[in-house]
Amino acid sequence: MKTTTRSIRALKGVRPIVCLTAYDAITARLASEGGADLILVGDSVGNAVLGMPDTVGVTLDMMLHHTAAVVRAKPDPVVIGDLPFALAHDSFSKVLGYCRRFLQEAGAQGVKIEGGTRLAPTIAKLVDAGIPVMGHVGMLPQRVHTTGYRRRGLTAEDQAMVLQDARAIEAAGAFAMVLECVDEKLVSAITSQVKIPTIGIGSGQNCDGQILVIHDLLGFTANPPPFAHPEANLHRSAVTALQRWAKKVRTPKTSR
């Protein structure tokens, strides 16, 4: 059954929420048949698929292209598109225009926006305009060139900042929020204090749900992050299958 941003929000306190990234029709079908509740077309498409070192080079046009491919697979999980690097800091009319393109051109049902307190007023206006928004606080990969990839909530001062971000995103009307690489104790505090689902990645088990990059989970990536715990090694299976076929092609017909 098709999920919605409202049904995802209603799952808080009912059961853990399963989220996966997908970037094309094939991974969308896998995520849907694999039982995901929500598909995020993440800007992790940059690292996972496009051979980029990080997500900074991912553009709006790339995101719309991949989001539309996911939507064309007609997956059951609600599809959320990721607003790429720095666009959320444009003027509100431009941000509204970008988000409108995700819903109208690519067919997504909502957008995800990386950032906390500073972006809360923008998120509140987007929600007011009818755009469902998923927040993303904690480690923000789009800020790799300013903060690096650092775990969050390790000092009392940083804990206060992340908690403030989470509260601001909830107050702005987001339907859920990603907590990326946040200290587990802080995750428990945030999850019990906010009324919207917290979706963790590298943040332990105390969130309302989990999200992983599908390529990490399926074993397509060479160096998955330590928290990913791949459930398959599809890279090895694919290489074995391809080598088997290459051998067949190279074997003279007479000796087959």
Instruction: Give contact residues for ligand KIV (rule: CB under 6 A).
Output: 21, 40, 42-44, 82, 136, 178, 180, 201, 211, 213
d(CA 222, CA 140): 22
34: left (phi over 0), alpha (psi -120 to 50) or beta: alpha
d(CA 13, CA 192): 10
DSSP 3-state assignment of 170?
Answer: helix
Q: How far is the CB of 189 from ligand KIV (least distance, A)?
A: 20
**Residue (8 or 256) nearer to ligand KIV, CB:** 8
Which residues are marked as active site?
A: 180
**Residue (229 or 236) nearer to ligand KIV, CB:** 229
Question: Of 179, 177, 145, 173, which is closest to residue 159 (Cα–Cα)?
Answer: 179
**Residue (44 or 109) nearer to ligand KIV, CB:** 44
Work out the angle between the directed axes of helices 60-72 and 92-104 (0-180°, nearest 10). Answer: 30
